[in-house]
């Protein structure tokens, strides 16, 4: 055990541990797909304090406080879903219960924020996020879309004081993977309004109908 602690003291998560992180200090940037037209079906994200804690602890050998975790939902998830939906709101569970009909209700859960070493010496690390998103129509209990992932960021840090970047990398990777999965699953098609207008009938032909004499 002592040798393990000695090794950790030489790593990115040195004996002093990671510095506290604040999601408010992050500015996630990632590639977003080009969408010709966004859905106008209302989508409500439920911000449940039992599923998304505002204060979390970075999991792993070197725990550290992570503040304002709810911004991952109110800022980052909302921004990601606005790629496909033009009417996205964040609400409490009680308010979201008032949604009706074909409105989309979205549950999100963040189970853990952590870190992963990128080499055998623990001299560099990336952030991780265990989370899930599920969608259903307000008038149904069954979810039509589910996404669950252990997201691993690509922003490599070598200083334990750079915890904000650690968290930012995990958010970026998670949101990008969510959008790719939604595209692959055809979520926009699934939420098309049931009463969407049918395509117009083709115009009548200007040619007179064929007769037996024409054959």
DSSP 12-38: SS-TT-PPPEEGGG----------SS-
The whole-angstrom separation of Cα 137 and Cα 131 is 21
Give the list of residues 6+ apart from residue 127 with CB closer than 8 angstroms, or none: 113, 114, 115, 116, 152, 153, 155, 165, 166, 167, 168, 169, 170
Strands (E), the chain: 21-22, 43-46, 56-57, 65-67, 88-91, 104-117, 125-137, 145-152
d(CA 162, CA 30): 19
CA distances from 92 to 14, 31, 74, 120 (A): 39, 29, 11, 44
pLDDT in tens, the chain (215 residues): 333 333 344 355 555 578 999 999 999 999 999 888 899 999 999 999 999 999 999 987 778 999 999 999 999 999 999 999 999 999 999 988 888 888 999 999 999 999 998 877 678 899 999 999 999 999 999 999 999 999 999 999 999 899 999 999 999 999 999 999 999 999 988 887 544 444 455 555 455 555 555 54
User: Can you give the pLDDT at residue 123?
Assistant: 81
pLDDT of residue 69: 98
Q: Cα–Cα distance between 78 and 34 in angstroms, integer? A: 17
Q: Rounded to whole angstroms, how far apart are CA atoms 97 and 180?
A: 28
Query: pTM (2 decimals)?
Result: 0.82
**Fold exhibited by the domain 19-193:** Rossmann fold (3.40.50)
């Amino acid at each position: 055990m002592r040798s393990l602690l000695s090794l950790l003291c030489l790593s990115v998560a040195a004996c002093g541990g990671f510095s506290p992180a604040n999601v408010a200090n992050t500015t996630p940037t990632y590639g977003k797909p080009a969408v010709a037209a966004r859905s106008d079906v209302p989508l409500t994200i439920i911000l449940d304090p039992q599923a998304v804690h505002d204060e979390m602890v970075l999991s792993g050998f070197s725990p550290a406080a992570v503040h304002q975790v709810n911004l991952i939902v109110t800022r980052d998830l909302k921004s990601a879903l606005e790629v496909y939906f033009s009417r996205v709101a964040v609400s409490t569970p009680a308010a979201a219960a008032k949604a009706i009909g074909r409105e989309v209700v979205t549950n999100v859960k963040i189970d853990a924020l952590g870190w992963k070493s990128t080499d055998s010496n623990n001299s560099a690390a990336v952030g991780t996020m265990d989370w899930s998103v599920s969608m259903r129509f307000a008038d149904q209990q069954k979810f039509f879309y589910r996404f669950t992932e252990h997201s691993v960021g690509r922003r490599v840090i070598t200083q334990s004081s750079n915890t904000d970047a650690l968290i930012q990398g995990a958010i970026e990777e998670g949101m990008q993977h969510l959008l790719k999965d939604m595209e692959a699953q055809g979520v926009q098609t699934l939420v098309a309004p049931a009463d969407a207008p049918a395509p117009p009938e083709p115009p009548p032909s200007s040619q007179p109908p064929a007769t037996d004499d024409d054959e």
